[in-house]
Amino acid sequence: MAESYEVVLQEVPVKGLFALLKELEGISERVGDLVVSEGLEGSRCEGGFCENLVNAFSSYEGSVCMAEKLFRFRVSKDDFLSSVLLRVVKYEGRVDVEMSFDSFIDLDVGFVMLAFQEISNALSRRFHVKDCYGGLEPAVDVDTRYFTNGLLGPLSLRKNKLDS
């Protein structure tokens, strides 16, 4: 059975949300269809997220989710994930950006999660994100994390001890 992995940018300020999403789209070679859980004005965007949609998402009063697939997501100069599901979730006035992928990848998961840690930390600093973490889905479980912000998590440490 394939395992699923998740990386979360928690409490993303809406001020930089559009730029952050475009940066994530830019890491991939191709963007899939965009799906929105509610009928937001401006929800018809060509080629990924558009500013009108992100503004409507940000001002929406209730809970809402947007999702798209990112194809050939670059995790290093020469390494790609075939696809990453990008979700943007607004709940209780907060916005999280979540990326998930399955373990059927050809790359070492530890390597991929370290790459996501670098990407997430850089985005967090640039866009003033509260926290970032990654691990087995659901990554909210601290016992199955590869990283939390700049720190390695229990799964990274276990894997490193097994490699020794």
Provide the pLDDT for residue 162. Answer: 40
> Which residue range forms the structural domain that includes residue 90?
4-163
| Residue 25 to residue 49: CA distance in whole angstroms | 9
Strand, helix or coil for residue 94: strand
Q: Look over the chain and give the mean of its residue pLDDT values, rounded to a whole number.
A: 89
Give the total number of structural domains in the chain: 1
Per residue in 94-117, pLDDT tens? 999 999 998 766 778 888 999 999
Provide the pLDDT for residue 3. Answer: 86
| Residue 20 to residue 27: CA distance in whole angstroms | 11
Q: Return all residues near 110 (Cβ < 8 A) that are at least 6 apart.
A: 146, 156, 159, 160
Provide the pLDDT for residue 8. Answer: 98
Q: Is the separation of the CB atoms in 116 and 134 below 8 Å? A: yes
| Residue 131 to residue 133: CA distance in whole angstroms | 7
Instruction: Outline where 28-141 has alpha helix (H).
Output: 51-59, 109-127
DSSP state of 65: E
pTM for the model stands at 0.90
